[in-house]
C-alpha cells in the first residue's frame, strides 16, 4: 500500500511530454488572444482617429438672402410700367433685372452670387419663342378652319411636348452659364437629344400608367438636370426616388382632404425636405450634403401672412412676399461637408442663347430651379 502510494508521485516521460505540449499550446493560445486584443484596440483607435479626423474636416456653409421688400418693389414697379408701355417688349430686360437682383442678394458664406444674363440676350430668345408659339397656334387655327379640330389639337400637343424638353435643356444651359459665385461659373452639360429621348419615354410611361408614372417622370427629370449641373469642378447629384415621391404625394393629398386643407402646408414642407435632402455636391472624394430644417407650422404662418399682405396691398406687396419667402427658405437649408470652397476651379464656358429660357418662361414651367 505504501509502495503504491510512493510510486504514484513519479511521472512518466509520456506524461511529461503531454504536460509540456499542453503548456506550449496554452502559451500559444495566450499570445494569440493578446495579439487579437491588441489588433482590436488598434482598429478601434484607428476608427476613432478616422472619425475625429472626418469630424475635424467637416465644414459648415451658410446660405443667406439679403434683399428687402422696398428695393425689390422699386425694381418690380419699374419693370411693370415699362413692360406695359412697350406692349410687352421690355419683358426680357425686366426679367434680367429681377434675376440680377435676386441672385445678387443671395450669398454663400457671405459671398454673393451673380447673374450675368442681359435683356439683349433674352430679347433674342424672346422673339424666337414668340415666333414658335405663333406657328403652333397657326397650325391649330388652320385645322380648326378646316373643321378638323381634333387633328389640330393632336398636332399642337405633339409639338408642345416636342418643344418642352428642348426648352428645358436650353433654359438650364443658358441660366447656369450666366450664373457665378466668386467668379466661378456654373454650367449645364446635359445632352439635348438624350433628354428628348428620355422625356418622351417618361411621358409615354406616364400616359400608359394613367399618370401613376408621373412621380418617376418628375424625379427622373430632376435627377437628370441636377446631375448635369456643374459649379466649376463641383458636380451635383440628386437621388430622389419616384416611389417615395408618389407615396409622399398620396399621403399629402388624402390628409389635405381629411383636414380640410390644413395639412397642405405640411405637405409643402415634406416636398421641400425631399427636394433638398436628396441633393448633394461632389468634388473628387469630398462632398457637401444639404438638409432642410423647415417646419410645417412655420410654412403655415409664412403662407397666411403672405396671403394677408397680398390682400391688404391689392397685390402690390408681392415684392415683400417673395423676399420673405426667399429669406425663410434659404435660412433653413443647412449645408455640411468637406469641400474647401477656395479650391474650386473654373471649368465652364459662356453660352448666350436664351431661347430655351424664354420658351420655358412663356410656358410658366420653372422646372427644378
Q: Hey, what's the cell of 55?
A: 469630424
Q: Is 212 helix (H, G, I), strand (E, B) or coil?
A: coil
Instruction: Convert the pLDDT of each residue in 10-21 to its tens digit.
Output: 445 555 454 555
Between CA 82 and CA 73 the distance in angstroms is 14
Query: Per-residue pLDDT tens for 120-165?
Result: 999 988 888 888 889 888 988 988 888 888 898 999 888 888 889 9
Task: Give the contacts of 169 (CB within 8 A, at least 6 positions apart).
Answer: 188, 190, 192, 195, 196, 356
pLDDT of 35 above 90: no
For residue 234, give the nearest of 166, 180, 167, 153 by alpha carbon. 180
The pLDDT > 70 percentage for the chain reads 79
CB 115 within 8 A of CB 178: yes
Give me 30's grid cell: 495566450
Contact 109, 59 (CB under 8 A): no
Indicate the pTM of the whole model. 0.79
Chain centre to alpha carbon of residue 120: 30
Q: What is the pLDDT of residue 304?
A: 97
Measure the CA angle with vertex 291, ends 331 and 47; round to 5°.
130
Amino acid at each position: 500500500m505504501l509502495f503504491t502510494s510512493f510510486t504514484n508521485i513519479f511521472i512518466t516521460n509520456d506524461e511529461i511530454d503531454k504536460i509540456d505540449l499542453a503548456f506550449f499550446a496554452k502559451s500559444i493560445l495566450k499570445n494569440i488572444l493578446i495579439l487579437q486584443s491588441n489588433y482590436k484596440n488598434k482598429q478601434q483607435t484607428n476608427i476613432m482617429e478616422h472619425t475625429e479626423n472626418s469630424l475635424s474636416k467637416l465644414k459648415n456653409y451658410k446660405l443667406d438672402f439679403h434683399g428687402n421688400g422696398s428695393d425689390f418693389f422699386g425694381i418690380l414697379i419699374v419693370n411693370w410700367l415699362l413692360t406695359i408701355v412697350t406692349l410687352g417688349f421690355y419683358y426680357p430686360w425686366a426679367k434680367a433685372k429681377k434675376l440680377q437682383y435676386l441672385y445678387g442678394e443671395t450669398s454663400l458664406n457671405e459671398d454673393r452670387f451673380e447673374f450675368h444674363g442681359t435683356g439683349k440676350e433674352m430679347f433674342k430668345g424672346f422673339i424666337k419663342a414668340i415666333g414658335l408659339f405663333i406657328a403652333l397656334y397657326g397650325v391649330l387655327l388652320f385645322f380648326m378652319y378646316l373643321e378638323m379640330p381634333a387633328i389640330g389639337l393632336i398636332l399642337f400637343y405633339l409639338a408642345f411636348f416636342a418643344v418642352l424638353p428642348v426648352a428645358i435643356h436650353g433654359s438650364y444651359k443658358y441660366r447656369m452659364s450666366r450664373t457665378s459665385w466668386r467668379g466661378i461659373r456654373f454650367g449645364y452639360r446635359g445632352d439635348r437629344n438624350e433628354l428628348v429621348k428620355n422625356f418622351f419615354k417618361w411621358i409615354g410611361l406616364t400616359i400608359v400608367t394613367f399618370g401613376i408614372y408621373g412621380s418617376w417622370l418628375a424625379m427622373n427629370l430632376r435627377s437628370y438636370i441636377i446631375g448635369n449641373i456643374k459649379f466649376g469642378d463641383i458636380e451635383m447629384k440628386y437621388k430622389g426616388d419616384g416611389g417615395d415621391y408618389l407615396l409622399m404625394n398620396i399621403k399629402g393629398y388624402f390628409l389635405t382632404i381629411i383636414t380640410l386643407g390644413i395639412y397642405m402646408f405640411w405637405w409643402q414642407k415634406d416636398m421641400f425636405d425631399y427636394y433638398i435632402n436628396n441633393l448633394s455636391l461632389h468634388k473628387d472624394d469630398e462632398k457637401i450634403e444639404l438638409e432642410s430644417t423647415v417646419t410645417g407650422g412655420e410654412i403655415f404662418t409664412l403662407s397666411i401672412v403672405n396671403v394677408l399682405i397680398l390682400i391688404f396691398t391689392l397685390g402690390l406687396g408681392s415684392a415683400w412676399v417673395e423676399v420673405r419667402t426667399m429669406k425663410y427658405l434659404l435660412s433653413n437649408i443647412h449645408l455640411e461637408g468637406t469641400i474647401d470652397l477656395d479650391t474650386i476651379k473654373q471649368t465652364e464656358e459662356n453660352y448666350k442663347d436664351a431661347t430655351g429660357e424664354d420658351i420655358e418662361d412663356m410656358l410658366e414651367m420653372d422646372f427644378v430651379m
